[in-house]
Amino acid sequence: MNKNFYITTPIYYPSGKPHMGHAYSSIITDIFARFKRIEGYNVLFLTGTDEHGQKIEKEAKKNNKDPKIFCDELSDKFRSLTKILNLSNDDFIRTTEERHFQSVIEIWNRLIESGDIYLDKYSGWYSVSDEAFYDEDEIEELDGNKVARTSGSMVEWVEEESYFFKLSAWQTKLLNHYKNNKDFILPISRQNEVISFVEKGLKDLSISRTSFSWGIPVPKNKKHVIYVWLDALTNYISALNFPDVNHNKYKSFWPADIHIIGKDILRFHAIYWPAFLLAAKIDLPKRIFSHGWILSDEKKMSKSIGNILDPIEIVNKYGIDQLRYYLTKEVSLGNDGSISMENLKACINNDLANNYGNLCQRVFSFIKKNCKNKIPEGHNLTDNDLKLIKKTKEILPKLINFMNNQNLNEYVKTVVGLSFDANKYFNDSEPWKYSKTNVERMNTILFTITEQIKNLSILLSPIIPLSTKKVLDSINLNDKDIRVDTILKNNVLNHKKEIKETKILFKKIEDDN
């Protein structure tokens, strides 16, 4: 069985500071990457920045900066965001790197060789902000401006010589691929959207521009730069050392297992990218999963509306695990979801502070007081004790399935349910009643609940890795045991070493905070 797993985020335009939408794409991807690791896979998780194109060139000009220097500065902000969000990415690619340049040129040459590129003239609508071409029927008039209906971004009329990619020639092959690979595009609603768009007929795609210069020049015709999306999408293979197809990284990790993207960039990933790859005779990625938008005050975040939520501010105020957990729990993955500070506070208090956090703290301080700070062994477990632990083992395949189908909300709901059960078990079992009269019974309850804390911490570790690591460290669980299959094993707990002191895991948020 292939135990390699390759997962990617979109690469971000470093045209402004990172915002919550970017953080969301990255956090979701990180959760799946971390889960695959604890499932025992050798994971490659890629993120990075998309630095060419007219949008970046314009922003750099506005800031009186050379585009490369401008990108260096902003790309650094995205790179440091990976640390702030505690992402476990293995690589960070920039499209201005030499390794990427080589890949894009190779793709271009392959498309020329296969006869999929021709020179013509483009006249039509272009949105610099989306870096996308739009048809007449995708445009509407808003306050006297022409805008793209889906994104609301301004469009301008463009007429210039351009190389075209014969996208129309790939329509049937794409449709066949969608039909034969039912989970190539997920969720299903997005798959249907793509299929009906492709069924309506694909037009050839303009893949070069001449009216600006910030990009990778077209080989043998330096007047043109390669369209930023053809350039950007290639990042997923340039990070694997393509065109060196014998390179270990490429051989081990391509085709990618999953590209996580937002719904606004679905067309590029589900239509253009596979068409380019088919034409270049490269295998297609296995899955494209599109999430919805994070809405602030019910609207998509944008500079012009002024409703941008800054992830760094929230992390500084409430903590990274708190933000990661909240986004996972609150937003139904695949759909748009509104977030608010009020809900964030309630979520931290109810699910993290009062539930999982409080359980760990109560159990550990009880063990400290009554068991010389060591996890006791359990003997003669009652049906009720066994029920608590067995349930987790029994539903483990279901949980793994949820994660592997990006059903993150069901996963979290189920794990939080287990955590509520564990709290109830502890309260109902009343170990304090036995501290004088029946130490063996008290010990068994403490063993059972600690076993379940361990299981919950493993299951929550992809979502709240810092806090769960603190808990698992404090009970002396080895890093190598932070794995899904540890849940199925007995006797993993260390009864000899003392439990290490942990600071409060999740501070409760008071009203005025």
* Interface residues toward ligand MSP, by CB under 6 A: 10-13, 21-22, 24-25, 50, 232-233, 235, 261-262, 264-265, 293-294, 300-301
Q: Whole-number minimum distance, CB 54 to ligand MSP, in Å?
A: 13
Taking CB positions, which residue lies at the least distance from ligand MSP? 262
Q: Whole-number minimum distance, CB 10 to ligand MSP, in Å?
A: 4
Q: Whole-number minimum distance, CB 50 to ligand MSP, in Å?
A: 3
Q: Whole-number minimum distance, CB 16 to ligand MSP, in Å?
A: 9
Beta pairing, strands 185-186 & 288-291: parallel
100 in Cβ contact with 238 (< 8 Å): yes
Residue among 209, 385, 381, 408 at smallest CA distance from 324: 408
Q: Whole-number minimum distance, CB 154 to ligand MSP, in Å?
A: 15
Q: Whole-number minimum distance, CB 78 to ligand MSP, in Å?
A: 9
Q: Whole-number minimum distance, CB 24 to ligand MSP, in Å?
A: 5
Q: In the complex with ligand MSP, which residue's Cβ is closer, 252 or 307? A: 307
| Locus of tokens 């690469």 | 11
Q: Is the dihedral of CA 237, 243, 245, 249 positive or negative?
A: negative
Is the peptide bond between 187 and the residue preceding it cis, with omega within 30 degrees of 0? yes
Q: In the complex with ligand MSP, which residue's Cβ is closer, 224 or 259? A: 259
Q: In the complex with ligand MSP, which residue's Cβ is closer, 288 or 347? A: 288
Q: In the complex with ligand MSP, which residue's Cβ is closer, 13 or 32? A: 13
Residue among 442, 280, 258 at smallest CA distance from 367: 442
Q: Whole-number minimum distance, CB 13 to ligand MSP, in Å?
A: 4
Q: In the complex with ligand MSP, which residue's Cβ is closer, 202 or 295? A: 295
Q: In the complex with ligand MSP, which residue's Cβ is closer, 42 or 335? A: 335
Q: In the complex with ligand MSP, which residue's Cβ is closer, 229 or 356? A: 229
Run of H or E including 453: helix 439-460
Q: How far apart are CA 135 and CA 119, in angstroms?
A: 20
Q: Whole-number minimum distance, CB 405 to ligand MSP, in Å?
A: 20
CA 21 to chain centre: 11
Q: In the complex with ligand MSP, which residue's Cβ is closer, 75 or 419? A: 75
431 in Cβ contact with 366 (< 8 Å): yes
Helix or strand or coil: residue 174? helix
Q: In the complex with ligand MSP, which residue's Cβ is closer, 10 or 431? A: 10
Q: How far apart are CA 307 and CA 299, in angstroms?
A: 8
Q: How many CA atoms lie within 13 A of 303 on its CB side?
A: 6
Q: What would you report as the CA-atom Rg of the chain, rounded to the nearest whole angstrom?
A: 26
125's CB contacts (< 8 A; 6+ apart) are 133, 134, 135, 136, 138, 139, 146, 148, 155, 156, 157, 158
164's CB contacts (< 8 A; 6+ apart) are 117, 118, 119, 120, 122, 204, 205, 206, 207
Q: In the complex with ligand MSP, which residue's Cβ is closer, 80 or 401? A: 80
Q: Whole-number minimum distance, CB 12 to ligand MSP, in Å?
A: 4
DSSP 381-409: --HHHHHHHHHHHHHHHHHHHHHHTT-HH
Q: Whole-number minimum distance, CB 450 to ligand MSP, in Å?
A: 38
Q: How far apart are CA 95 and CA 191, in angstroms?
A: 28
Q: Whole-number minimum distance, CB 305 to ligand MSP, in Å?
A: 11
227 in Cβ contact with 50 (< 8 Å): no
Q: Whole-number minimum distance, CB 11 to ligand MSP, in Å?
A: 5
- CA torsion angle for 414, 39, 323, 46 (degrees, to 10)? -140
Q: In the complex with ligand MSP, which residue's Cβ is closer, 56 or 493? A: 56
Q: In the complex with ligand MSP, which residue's Cβ is closer, 272 or 318? A: 272
331 in Cβ contact with 21 (< 8 Å): no
Q: How far apart are CA 152 and CA 471, in angstroms?
A: 46
Q: How many CA atoms lie within 13 A of 81 on its CB side?
A: 30
Q: In the complex with ligand MSP, which residue's Cβ is closer, 127 or 448? A: 127
